Chains A and B, each alone.
Chain A
Amino acid sequence: MPASNAFVLRVTNLAKRYGQGCPSCYALTGPAFATNICPCCGSIVACHDIGFDLEEGEILGIVGESGSGKSTLVRCLYFDEEVTGGEAFLAAYGKGGVNLFAESSQRKRFIRNHLMGMVYQNPLLGIKPHFTAGGNVAEKLLTADVYNYADIRARAASLLTRTEIPRARMDDFPARFSGGMQQRVQIAKALANNPPLLFLDEITTGLDLSVQARVLDLVKEIQRELGIAMLVVSHDLGVIRMLADRTAVLKNGRMVEIGLTDQILEDPQHQYTQLLVHSML
C-alpha cells in the first residue's frame, strides 16, 4: 500500500453484479449503453470499477439517479452485500494493508461494529422499534464491547443530547418519534462506537425541508467536531453542495466523474453530470 496519503478508506475496482454473469456483462453495460442490465445474460451490473479514497474528516458525496448504484456501493462497504470483486482498505484496520472484502464474516462483523457507522434512508433499518431510543444506542455500544451499564447509559444520554433528542425522551420507543427524530436517533446510534468512518445513505429523503436542514446541520457539526470521514449518498445535489468537499457521480453502475463539489456543479465534464446538474436548475 502506498503510505503517502493519510487515507481512512481506500476502495479499488469495487464491483457488484446481481446474476450469474457472462463474459459480456461489463463490456455491454454502463453509461455508453444507458443500462446496467447485461443484454446477454440479464445480470445487473450494479457497480463496476469503482475506486476512490477518503481522508480523515473528509466528506465525499456520491450522486446519481435512482438505480445508479449508490446504495449498492455503501451497502457493499458496510458488508450488507457481498462484493463481486474489488478491494477496500481501512487505515484503522490491519495498518491499512488488509483487503476487508477478503476477511471472514466474523472479522467483518468486528470491523463494522467497531470501525464503521451507517445511517440508512429508512430509520427503521438502522434502529430497532422494540428498543427505546437509549436502548438502540446501547445495542450498538454492546456490539462494540462496551458492557458497563453506567457507561452505556451516560454515553447514550450524551449522544442523544448531541443529536438533539431531549433527555426526557431517551426511554421512549421510536414509533412515538417523528421521522426527523427517528433519523437523529439513528445518527446517535451510528456514532456510538466513535467510528472513524460513517456512511449516510439518503438520510434526508422523505423529510420535510425544515427538518432536512436540521439533520444536515447536525451532520456538518458532527463532521467538524469529531473529524469523522463520511460517504454521503444522495440524489439531491443540494444536500451534496451543503455537505461534501468532493463528489463522485455514478451512472449505470459506473463512476463517470469525481472532483471538487463546486467544480462538479459549475463545470461538469461528463455528459451525464451535465444532465444531472441541468435537471436540477
Chain B
Amino acid sequence: MSDQYDLLSVRGLTKNFTLHLQSRKFLRGCEDVSFSLKAGEFMGVVGPSGAGKSTIIKCIYRSYLPSAGEIIYRTGGQDIDLAKAPDREIIRLRRREISYVSQFLKVIPRVPAVDILAEQLTERGWPRNKAKDRAAEYLEMMNIDPALWDTSPSTFSGGEQQRVNLARALITKPRLLLLDEPTASLDAETKKVVIQALNQLRKQGTTMVGIFHDTDVMKRLVDRVFTMTSGRCKSIKRMQEVV
C-alpha cells in the first residue's frame, strides 16, 4: 500500500463534562487518549460500559466538544484539527467524507426508508432517480423487505432500523466511518451482510473506528483493538494478539 499515511491522529484527547444543574458536578468522559490510524485501517474500541468509548467517537464527530487534545484529520493534503475546526468546516466534512452511525436511528418521521438513503446522495449532487435506484440496492443488500421501502422506519423493528441506519452511512462510501455498536440488534444473517459491506468499503479505502460489543463481528473486521478502562487507554493491540 502506497497511501500509508496517518489519516487520523488523536493526541491527548480529554473530555470532561461539567453538569451545571448538579452544582457543577464534574464527569470524566475520557482522559489523555492517543492513537493514530493509517488510511484504510479499521480499529475496534472495546471496554466496559461507561469506559468512554462513545465519548471518543463523539469527540471525533464533534457531537461533543473536546476539552483538551488534538484530533488531527488529514484531508486534501491538509491537516485539520477536528477538536478546534470551525462548525462550518465540520459540517462540510460530515457532508463529504465523515459518517457516523449511532446505536439508534434518528430520522424525520414520515420520510420513507428509500428517501432517507436517497437524500444522502441528492445532498451530494446525485439526480433524484439515480439516488433512489441506488437507495433501493442498499435496502435490498440489507435484507429490508421491499414492502417496507416506502414506509417510514419509525415503525420498523429495532433490527430493521439498525440496518437502515447502517445503509444510510454505507451508501455515501465515507472516507472516515465512525460506528457505535452498529451490530447490536442484528440477526446472524444480517451480521454477515454488514461485515461483507464494511469489508467492501475497506477495499475502497475507507478508514474506520468502531465500537463493537460483539467480538465475533469485530474479529472479522478490524486490524487493531483499542481497549479502554475508566476513560483511559489500557492497551492497543493487533487483532491477532487479542484473540
Task: Say which one of B105-113, B183-191, B229-237 lies at the interface with A.
Answer: B105-113
Contact of B87 (CB < 8 Å), options: A5, A217, A260, A267: A260
A164 lies within 8 A of chain B by Cβ: no
Report the nearest B residue to A270, measured CB to CB.
B20
Residue of B nearest to A266 (CB): B63
Answer whether residue A262 sits at the interface, using C-beta atoms and an 8 A cutoff.
Answer: yes
Q: How far is the CA of A55 from the CA of B175 in the complex (A)?
A: 25
A1 to B49, CA, bound (A): 50
Decide if B19 is an interface residue (CB 8 Å cutoff): yes
Give residues 219-272 of A contacting B (CB, 8 Å): 220, 224, 241-242, 245-246, 259-260, 262-263, 266-267, 269-271
Task: Check: B38 CB closer than 8 A to any chain A CB.
Answer: no
Q: Is A92 positioned at the interface, with any CB of B under 8 Å from its CB?
A: no
B65 & A275 in contact (Cβ 8 Å cutoff): no
Check if A269 sits within 8 Å of B87, measured CB to CB.
Answer: no
- Are the C-beta atoms of B108 and A266 separated by less than 8 Å? no
Given contacts A242-B108, A271-B20, contact A260 B64 (CB under 8 A): no
**Does B91 have its Cβ within 8 Å of any Cβ on chain A?**
yes
Whether B62 and A260, one on each chain, are in contact in the complex, defined by CB atoms closer than 8 angstroms, is yes
Output the residue of A262, A266, A271 with the most chain B CB within 10 A. A262
Contacts of A275 in B (CB 8 A): 20-21
- Asked if B65 and A274 make an inter-chain contact with CB atoms under 8 angstroms apart, the answer reads no
State which of A55, A267, A271 has its C-beta within 8 Å of the C-beta of B64. A267
* Cβ-closest chain B residue relative to A268: B20
Q: Is the CB of B88 within 8 A of A55?
A: yes
A245, A263, A271, A278: the one contacting B65 at CB < 8 Å is A263
Asked if B91 contacts A224 (CB within 8 A), the reply is no
Select which of A245, A266, A270, A278 is within 8 A of B91 by beta carbon.
A245
Q: Does B122 contact A (CB under 8 A)?
A: yes
A263/B63 in contact, CB under 8 A: yes
- Residues of chain B lying within 8 A (CB to CB) of residue A214: 110
0/1 string, A44-62, CB within 8 A of B gives 1: 0000000000010000000
**A216 on the interface (CB 8 Å rule)?**
yes
Chain A positions within 8 Å of B150 at CB level = none
Q: How far is the CB of A221 from chain B (nearest CB, A)?
A: 10
Give the bracket for the number of chain B residues in contact with chain A: 20 to 34
| A124 close to B (CB within 8 Å) | no
Q: Is A40 an interface residue (CB 8 A)?
A: no
Contact B110–A259 (Cβ < 8 Å): no
Across the interface, do A260 and B63 meet the contact criterion of CB distance under 8 Å?
yes
Q: Is A102 an interface residue (CB 8 A)?
A: no
How many chain A residues touch B (CB < 8 A): the figure is 24
- A8 CB to closest chain B CB (Å) equals 13
Q: How far is the CB of B62 from chain A (nearest CB, A)?
A: 6
**A260-B91, A278-B21 as given contacts; A224 in contact with B123, CB under 8 Å:** yes
The answer to whether B17 has its CB under 8 Å from any CB of chain A is: yes
Also in contact, A262 and B65, with CB within 8 A (given A271-B21, A274-B19): no
Report if A213 contacts B (CB, 8 A).
yes
Tell me if B58 is interfacial: C-beta within 8 Å of chain A: yes
Given contacts A217-B108, A220-B108, A224-B123, contact A267 B21 (CB under 8 A): no
> B59 — nearest CB in chain A belongs to which residue?
A267
Q: Is the CB of A267 within 8 A of B20?
A: no
Contact A266 B58, beta carbon cutoff 8 Å = yes
B108 touches A267 (CB 8 A): no
Q: Mark B45-72, 1 if CB is under 8 A from A, else 0.
A: 0000000000000100011110000000
Instruction: Name the residue on A nearest B91 (C-beta).
Output: A245
| A259, B58: Cα distance in complex, Å | 15
Tell whether A217 pairs with B21 under 8 Å between CB atoms, given A224-B123, A259-B87, A262-B63: no
Q: Which residue of B has the minimal Cβ distance to A216? A: B108
What CA separation (Å) do A275 and B21 show in the bound complex?
Answer: 7
Q: Is B90 in the interface zone, CB < 8 Å from A?
A: yes
Which residues B90-131 have CB closer than 8 A to chain A?
A: 90-91, 106, 108-111, 119, 122-123
Contact between A269 and B108, CB atoms less than 8 A apart:
no
- Chain A residue contacts of B19, Cβ below 8 A: 274
Whether the pair B63, A217 counts as a contact (CB closer than 8 A) is: no
- Residues from chain A with a CB closer than 8 A to the CB of B21 are 271, 274-275, 278
Provide the A84-96 mask, 1 if CB < 8 A to any CB of B, else 0: 0000000000000
Q: Find chain A residues with CB under 8 A from B108 CB.
A: 213, 216-217, 220, 242
The CA of A245 and the CA of B91, in the complex, are separated in Å by 8
Q: Which residue on A lies nearest to B19, using beta carbons?
A: A274
In the A-B complex, the 4 residue pairs with the closest CB atoms: A271-B20, A267-B64, A262-B63, A266-B63
User: What would 6 A/B residue contacts be, using CB atoms closer than 8 Å?
Assistant: A217-B110, A217-B111, A224-B122, A260-B63, A260-B87, A267-B63
Q: Which residues of B contact A (CB under 8 A)?
A: 17, 19-21, 58, 62-65, 87-88, 90-91, 106, 108-111, 119, 122-123
